[in-house]
Each structure stands twice: as C-alpha cells, then as structure tokens.
C-alpha cells in the first residue's frame, strides 16, 4: 500500500508544500502562487490544499507531515547570539522574543492549528517530523538526482546554526561531514551587499548577480573593493570556510544587515536607496562581491571533493541559485557532473523534508532511473490549467480568443508572431516548482531582436533596464549557440555564448558606464547575451515539455534559430502567474502583444479596454 508524505516549509520566506507518493513527487507548489504575495512566508494552506487535491487524498491519509527545520535549535541560536553580543541587540530581542514565545516555540501546536484551515482532520494520525534545515536542503538535491553517490554542498543564509554544509550521499544515506556556523555565512555576506546596493534582502540577490557584469573587471576600483572586503570584512580559508568581522554587520543582533556608516567609510559612498540611480561604483562593488562569492564556492566544492572523493556534486540552498557561480563551478572541472535542484531556496526545503521521511526515517531503498535526468521530470509539479478554466476566464472578462484545433497549428502561428517581433505570454499545463519559469508560465520573445531586452524590461516586466533575459534552447541545439556540453533544464547555469556568434565591440567598451554598455549588440542573439557574452541557459527537452519544444522547433523551422527568449510570466513585485485568470490580468496590465493559454490565442488589440487601476505601475521607477 502506497504511503503519502507531506513536506512543508514556512514562516521565513517562500513557503511551500510537497506531497510524495512513496518516493514519487506527485505535487509541489509555493504558497505565493495562490495568495499572490511574492515570497509569501505564511503557512502554505493553499499549497497544501492543492497537493491534497492533486493526489485525491486527505490529511488523514498521510503517513508523515514533515517541517523543514528544527525551530528549537533555531531558538537556541538566537538566545546564544543575543547573550554573546549583549547588550547589543536589545531592540531586536524585544521584538523577536514575543513571537518565538507565543508561536514558534510551540511550533507543533501551531502547525496542527494551521492544518485545521486546510480541512478537519485527526491530528494523531500522521507523525510530525522536524529534520534539520541543511539536511532538508541536502535531501532536496541528492535524492532526486541521478547519482548513485555524490558530494552534497548546501549554502544559504542560515538554518538553525549551519550556514553551509558538506555531506556525502550514498544510496539511501546522507552523512553530514562538515558545517560552517552562524554568524559566519556566505549567504548573509551576499545579502549584506544586496542591502547596501539598494535591493531587497532575500529576494533581490539575483539583481545583484545581474548587475555584477556591468562592473569593470580591469578597473583599479574593483581591485580596491576586493582588497577592502578581504582585509576588513572577512577572512577566507582554504576549505572555503569564512570568518566575518561582526564589527561591520548588524544581522546577528540588529534590524538591518550592516552598519551603514562603517560601510560608507569603507567603500566611499552611502548605501543606495532603491529609488536611486545605479552608478558605476555600484556595478563595480557588485562585481567585487560576485568574484569573492565564486572564489568561496569553488573552495567549498574542492573541500567537498577532498572529503568525499566523489566525481559528482549536488547543490542546494539559496546560494545555489547564483547561476554565474554555478557556471564557473561546472567549467572548473572539479566534478564530472553537477546537479542543482530547481527549488534550491527555502521552498525546496519542503521537498527535502518529505524525502528525509521516506529515505532516512523509513529507511526505504533508493532506486535510480538511468534514463531520466532526475526524478522531478522538468519540475512541472504545480496546478494544471484546463480548457474549462480558460473558458471561465473568457466569460469573466469578455475576452476574445481563438481556439486552435491542434497545438501544432498554434505553434506555427506563434512562430510567425515571434518572428514579427511580438511578445507572447505562454501558459501550458502544470506550473513549475521553483523560482524559474521553464516554459509553462513564461513570456516569450525573439532573441535576435535588438529591441527585445529593452521592450521586455520597460514595457512588459516594468523593472530595471539592466536585467538580462534567459534563452530557452532546444536541448539538441545547445552546443550550436553556447559553450556548454551538458544539459541545463532548470535555468541554473550561466555559460558563454559561442565565440563564432559574438559581435565585435568598440575599443574601451569595458570601461563604459552601465547605460553606454547596455544596448550594444553583442551577438546574433542580442536579447539573451549579457554584456560579458554569457547567458543563463535553459535546455528544452521533448520528453519533459513537448509543447514548449514544439513551439521552439516551429520557430527554428521558420527562422533557423532554435532559441527563444524566456522570462517569467509576472510583473515586478508579483509572483509568477498560476491560473488563466492570473495570466489574463497580467496580459492586460502590460504591453504584451499576445497570450496563449493551452490551444487558445488572444490578441491584445481584440480585447476590451482594461480599466482596473494598477498600483504597482505607480510605484515603479525606471533606472
């Protein structure tokens, strides 16, 4: 008889739920997709309801309910930190302790109470488990991988005590070998620079990564910044461990990441406000911390190799979403192959927690399918869209659309529209699990179009103009466009564009400022080629997403180009769309040209005027 396990992550950011049927992931989703609150940390009531509906089960049918970390260990860390730094941090202590005493210290009771919002159930039936945070991360990447054994590296801000860990996975077992402990943390270091450069902590780190290539690698300023960071802020050891000088940081006891005044004295400028323009010194500092991050990750990976002797590596934790660092790690050749779980951040903790119960608690054997890249099959694990739900949306908004007899016919039409410079919202099948849109909830464009990056950023996504876009490439064509021999189905690797496809740039280009660098044509795929000739690749596979593969194939048949621009179907400040209703509203609130929902095609010009007020547009400031 099959056993069902519910994994949960909640109460920090990116809460999520996952259900396993034995070892098979049946359903997985982040709470934000249902509540429409980006990075929603609340208990994932709606995500759990979806997972149960998808399995046809109730809470009473579950064998285990597994939370992704140990709250009492986290409380221990907070208390010891406040004690160790006292009398600093009094205000933070006064604000946080009532929450812990009232709620988190009694998390079992809180979880059971929250589950009552899902449905009426018998709280004594399913066993409640609490694996450690970094074990959940390790499980989320090792168990779905196709490796019989592997080194496992997890890096994030902080769990209970650990901020990074090295483990060894072998068969059904995971053995933690080494940990870096709070307050010394690569993730928190990167978040500190995210804060200082004017982006939001726990959500803006990818903006910092995207800004870094606009720094001038040959400038004395970048070299000076690196020296300042290494001499004043931290020490880096040979095994990749860090020591952070807490004189300059406030995250351990305060309500901010850093001491603004001391950082100004170090780097020579004030902390950037989110509405401030981006200047060259911001880009140079972003490049400096990105370079240090890559150095540390490589050292940690070499230590993982030394400790385990493995030819394979699994990565997880928030820092594993640093696609540039991942690309450098792949190119280093330290490991024969690397697997990165698509929900590497806290949402993936729910996946790892469920796996912990199945393999570690239940001691079930692990079986690998050598024919599959991993056990997540493209990460299309969220809610499906149905033709009936599309028709409900059509009726609700008096939308005008055409239903095609077959998707193949629609794919041919979509290829024509893309070739003509149109932007298309594309929603098909089950939603992706993780932070990336992978062709199920995506916005698509023509990568050859020199105006496409600017159009998507300023007229569709309503976001900073420097932000790059990712290419979705037919897996079989990847090496024709990019210097990458493997696969990258989850858009978690940045790799170079092939040299034969690059354009020549003007003399002195490296020293140009951000605005003068931005819109030079750098390759025959200008919309997806970053200023350092790199791209964040998604390889598209026929077996995991046949419709998306068909669309790109149709575009290739028409244009000779087996690549499209892919960005997530959302606007700034909102989660990726989930339902046809979400998609249609986003379509109408932007300057998108067309919308595809399953076999339905909607043209913007055919729709009634959108008269609903959108506050997010009023808050947007162009950089």
Per-residue model confidence as pLDDT tens digits over 514-536:
777 776 788 999 999 998 999 99
**Overall number of domains in the chain:** 3
Q: Is residue 307 part of a domain?
A: yes
d(CA 498, CA 491): 18
392 and 526, same domain (yes or no): yes
362 and 393, same domain (yes or no): no
What average pLDDT does range 417-425 have in this prediction? 97
Instruction: Please tell me the number of Cα atoms within 13 Å of 415 on its side-chain side.
Output: 23
> Per the omega criterion (within 30 degrees of 0), is the bond before 183 cis?
yes
List, edge to edge, every strand of the sheet that includes 173-181. Answer: 173-181, 162-170, 149-155, 312-316, 337-340
550 and 410, same domain (yes or no): yes
563 and 434, same domain (yes or no): yes
pLDDT score of 476 more than 90: yes
Q: Is residue 558 part of a domain?
A: yes
391 and 248, same domain (yes or no): no
pLDDT score of 89 more than 60: no
Higher pLDDT, 69 or 622: 69
369 and 510, same domain (yes or no): no
Terminal C-alpha separation, the chain: 57
Q: Domain range holding 92? A: 4-145+344-378
328 and 356, same domain (yes or no): no
The encoded tokens of residue 436 equal 């990336």
Q: Is residue 483 part of a domain?
A: yes
24 and 45, same domain (yes or no): yes
Q: Is residue 163 part of a domain?
A: no
Residue-level pLDDT at 195: 95
Residue-level pLDDT at 171: 96
Residue-level pLDDT at 623: 28
The encoded tokens of residue 402 equal 């055409």
62 and 132, same domain (yes or no): yes
3-state helix, strand, coil in the chain (%, to 5): 40, 20, 40
The encoded tokens of residue 226 equal 């690196």
The encoded tokens of residue 50 equal 């979806």
Residue 614's pLDDT band (cuts 50, 70, 90): low
Q: Is residue 537 part of a domain?
A: yes
Q: Which residue has the tokens 């978690």?
A: 492
Residue 619's pLDDT band (cuts 50, 70, 90): very low
227 and 90, same domain (yes or no): no
pLDDT score of 587 more than 60: yes
pLDDT score of 256 more than 90: no
Name the 3-class secondary structure at 340.
Answer: strand
Q: Please provide the average confidence, as pLDDT, over all residues in the chain.
A: 91
Express as a percent the part of the chain with pLDDT over 70.
92
52 and 199, same domain (yes or no): no
CATH number at residue 141: 3.30.420.40
Q: Is residue 150 part of a domain?
A: no
Phi, then psi, of 535 in degrees rounded to 5: -155, 145
d(CA 452, CA 454): 5
Strands 563-568 and 493-496: unpaired
Contact 573, 582 (CB under 8 A): no
Select from 567, 505, 467 the least CA-distant residue to 214: 467
Residue-level pLDDT at 77: 60
pLDDT score of 622 more than 50: no
What average pLDDT does range 94-122 have in this prediction? 78
Final residue before a domain boundary, out of 354, 378, 402: 378
Can you spell out the DSSP letters for 550-594? HHHHHHHHHHS--EEEEEES--TTSPPP-SHHHHHHHHHTS---E
Q: Is residue 174 part of a domain?
A: no
Residue-level pLDDT at 253: 73
Contact 601, 402 (CB under 8 A): yes
- Listed in sequence order, the DSSP H helices in 68-176 are 71-85, 90-102, 107-115, 133-142
Residue-level pLDDT at 612: 67
Q: Is residue 28 part of a domain?
A: yes
Express as a percent the part of the chain with pLDDT over 90.
78
Residue-level pLDDT at 76: 56
Name the 3-class secondary structure at 366.
Answer: coil
486 and 348, same domain (yes or no): no
d(CA 523, CA 514): 18
């Amino acid at each position: 008889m099959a056993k069902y396990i519910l994994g949960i992550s909640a109460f920090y950011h990116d809460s999520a739920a996952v259900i396993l049927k034995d070892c098979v992931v049946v359903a997985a989703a982040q709470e934000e997709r249902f509540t429409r609150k980006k990075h929603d940390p609340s208990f994932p009531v709606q995500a759990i309801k979806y997972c149960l509906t998808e399995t046809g089960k109730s809470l009473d049918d579950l064998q285990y309910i597994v939370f992704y970390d140990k709250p009492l260990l986290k409380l221990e860390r907070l208390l010891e930190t406040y004690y160790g730094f006292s009398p600093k941090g009094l205000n933070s202590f006064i604000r946080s302790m009532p929450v812990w005493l009232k709620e988190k210290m009694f998390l079992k009771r809180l979880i059971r109470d929250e589950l009552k919002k899902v449905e009426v159930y018998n709280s004594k039936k399913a066993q409640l488990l609490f694996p450690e945070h970094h074990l959940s991360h390790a499980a989320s990447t090792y168990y779905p991988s196709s490796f019989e054994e592997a080194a496992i590296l997890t890096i994030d801000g902080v769990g209970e005590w650990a901020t990074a860990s090295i483990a060894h996975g072998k068969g059904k077992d995971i053995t933690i070998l080494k940990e870096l402990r709070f307050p010394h943390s690569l993730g928190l270091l990167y978040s500190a620079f995210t804060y200082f450069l004017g982006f939001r902590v726990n959500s803006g780190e990818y903006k910092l990564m995207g800004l870094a290539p606009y720094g001038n690698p040959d400038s004395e300023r970048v070299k000076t910044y690196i020296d300042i960071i290494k001499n004043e802020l931290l020490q880096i050891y040979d095994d990749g461990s860090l020591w952070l000088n807490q004189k300059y940081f406030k995250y351990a006891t305060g309500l901010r990441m850093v001491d603004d005044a001391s950082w100004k004295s170090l780097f020579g400028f004030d902390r950037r406000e989110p509405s401030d323009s981006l200047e060259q010194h911001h880009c140079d500092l972003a490049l400096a911390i990105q370079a240090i991050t890559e150095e540390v990750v490589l050292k940690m990976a070499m230590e993982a190799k030394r400790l385990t002797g493995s030819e394979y590596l699994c990565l997880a934790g928030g820092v594993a979403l640093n696609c540039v660092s991942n690309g450098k790690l792949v190119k280093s050749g330290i490991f024969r192959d690397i697997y990165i779980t698509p929900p590497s951040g806290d949402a993936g903790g729910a996946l790892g927690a469920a796996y912990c119960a199945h393999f570690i608690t239940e001691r079930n054997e692990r079986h690998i399918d050598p024919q599959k890249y991993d056990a997540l099959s493209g990460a299309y694990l969220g809610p499906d869209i149905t033709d009936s739900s599309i028709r409900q949306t059509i009726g609700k908004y008096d939308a005008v659309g055409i239903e095609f007899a077959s998707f193949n016919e629609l794919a041919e039409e979509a290829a024509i529209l893309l070739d003509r410079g149109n932007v298309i919202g594309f929603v098909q099948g089950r939603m992706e699990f993780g932070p990336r849109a992978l062709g199920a909830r995506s916005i698509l464009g023509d990568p050859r179009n020199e105006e496409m990056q600017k159009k998507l950023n300023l007229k569709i996504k309503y976001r900073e103009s420097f932000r790059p876009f990712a290419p979705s490439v037919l897996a079989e064509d990847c090496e024709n466009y990019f210097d990458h021999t493997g696969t990258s189905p989850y858009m978690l690797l940045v790799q170079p564009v092939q040299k034969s496809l690059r354009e020549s740039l003007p003399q002195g280009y490296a020293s140009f400022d951000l605005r003068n660098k931005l819109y030079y044509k750098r390759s025959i795929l200008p919309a997806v080629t970053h200023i350092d000739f790199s791209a964040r690749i998604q390889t598209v596979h026929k077996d995991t997403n046949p419709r998306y593969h068909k669309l790109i194939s149709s575009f290739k048949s028409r244009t000779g180009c087996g690549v499209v621009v892919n960005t997530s179907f959302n606007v700034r400040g909102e989660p990726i769309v989930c339902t046809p209703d979400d998609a249609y509203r986003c379509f109408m609130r932007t300057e998108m040209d067309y919308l595809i929902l399953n076999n339905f095609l909607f043209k913007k010009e055919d729709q009634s005027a959108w008269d609903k007020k959108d506050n997010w547009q009023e808050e947007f400031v162009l950089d």
